[in-house]
Amino acid sequence: MTREQAIHRKRAPAVRTRTRVRLGGSSASEVRERLDRLVAFARGHRRALILTHDNPDPDSIASGVALAWLLGQMAGVEAVVAYGGIVGRAENRALVKVLRLPVVPLSTVSFADFDLIAMVDTQPEQGNHSLPAAHFPDVVIDHHPERPETRLAVVTDVGRDTGATSTVVTDYLRASGLEIPPAIATALFYGIKSDTRDLERETTEPDIEAYLWLFPKADTQALSMIERPRLPEDYFRLFHTAVEKARLHGDAVICDLGKVYYPDLVAEVADRFLSMGDVKWSLAVGEYRGSLYFSVRTRDRRMNAGKMVREVIEPEGGTAGGHGSMAGARLPVKGMTQAVRSRVMRRVFRSFLREFGVEGSRARRLV
């Protein structure tokens, strides 16, 4: 079955009642209108599957769990939150464990059990999710720029000027007037906190308003446990490797970590190196289960990291996404010989160095 056939089959039975919703604006009345339309669409459905992006971060997890709770409360729809990949980062595992968030691996669910599919913090064309090509989401909620295929969904709220998808879902909760559980408030608060790096990165007024609204409702003791988890020995070994392998090219740092034991480590390394001295660009890459994972971070406000990563990685056959100061990509390398993989890496690194404006600069080691 082609993607177009899957979309048609998914949409056809309810064409009379499905009016495509284009969401935008930020006033209280507009948010309430978006919420009402989302709830009206969800009512009458039996069961919803809410899909995060693969290897979900706190923003994706929190958005999914909060949306599931909201659909249950306002539309009477049971919802399951599922993810592809793994919950790898220690803080992310602590988020799920401490707050007892009901998220499950996508491999444990059957699509036949659901008549509504939603995506949070990702989009159909993003390439960082595990939704099979035979299925298409009805609802897409994401703070990243809209992708063309997202327009085929029935209800969308994407590309708003926020630093986190948790902010978008918090807007819905505020408009609902419901008293939200502490676990939901804590998850959303941490989702905004982590995605904006304590309101320092890609932060807008709606993020600040949501952050301040959630804080009194959050469980601060649980939050402390989430932010200060116990770390495995492998974590420190990998950061030792990162320091040894990092190469400075002018004001850019590049680090090929080799194989990593979970893909989120790549983003952690990129984040950490961006805090070094006069570094304006940070690129980390690691291999996990047959794919190369790239993370780019920048302090250069004139550049769009998401656009740059797509231009570098997509011609190589990978998928990428992101926005102003941060972006990520995945490039399959399963079955490649080491020689081919090395050629691809050299080509990709050259492209990044050219985009960073440091092509031809002499590399130097940190240690």
Q: Name the more confident of 181 and 300.
A: 181
Q: What is the pLDDT of residue 304?
A: 87
Separation CA 244–CA 365 (nearest Å): 8
Inter-residue contact 71 to 48 (CB < 8 Å): yes
Q: What is the pLDDT of residue 9?
A: 40
pLDDT tens track for 99-153: 999 999 999 999 999 999 999 999 998 878 899 989 999 999 999 888 889 999 9
Q: Name the more confident of 153 and 1.
A: 153
β-partners of residue 142 are 158
Q: What is the pLDDT of residue 96?
A: 98
- In the block, which residue shows the tokens 């790096």? 197
Q: What is the pLDDT of residue 159?
A: 84
Mean pLDDT of the chain: 89
The half-sphere exposure of 235 on its side-chain side, counting CA atoms within 13 A, is 10
Cβ atoms within 10 A of the Cβ of 76, count?
12
Any idea what DSSP says for residue 144? Answer: S
| C-alpha 221, offset from chain centre | 26
Q: What is the pLDDT of residue 12?
A: 35
Q: How confident is the model at residue 276 (pLDDT cuts 50, 70, 90)?
A: very high
Buried b (16+ CB within 10 A) or exposed e, 155-177: bbbbbbebbbbbbbbbbbbbbbe
Q: Is the pLDDT of residue 14 over 60?
A: no
- In the block, which residue shows the tokens 């539309």? 75
Q: What is the pLDDT of residue 16?
A: 29
Q: What is the mean pLDDT of residues 333-339?
A: 90
- In the block, which residue shows the tokens 């669409």? 41
The half-sphere exposure of 297 on its side-chain side, counting CA atoms within 13 A, is 23
Q: How confident is the model at residue 21 (pLDDT cuts 50, 70, 90)?
A: very low
Kindly give the pairing relationship between strand 78-83 and strand 103-105. Answer: parallel
Token pair for 93: 């595992």
- In the block, which residue shows the tokens 């056959």? 317
Q: What is the mean pLDDT of residues 299-323?
A: 89
Q: What is the mean pLDDT of residues 303-332?
A: 90
Selection from 147, 86, 89, 161 nearest residue 119 by Cα: 147
Q: What is the pLDDT of residue 197?
A: 85
pLDDT tens track for 40-87: 999 989 999 999 999 999 999 999 999 999 999 999 999 999 999 999
Q: How confident is the model at residue 26 (pLDDT cuts 50, 70, 90)?
A: low
pLDDT tens track for 355-366: 999 998 899 999
% of the chain residues with pLDDT over 70: 93
Q: Domains in the chain, ordered, with CATH?
A: 3-227 (3.90.1640.10), 233-365 (3.10.310.40)
Q: Report DSSP letters for 255-307, one per residue.
A: EEEEE-SSTHHHHHHHHHHHTSTT--EEEEEEEETTEEEEEEEE--TTS-HHH
pLDDT tens track for 202-261: 889 999 999 999 999 999 999 999 999 999 898 999 999 999 999 999 999 999 999 998
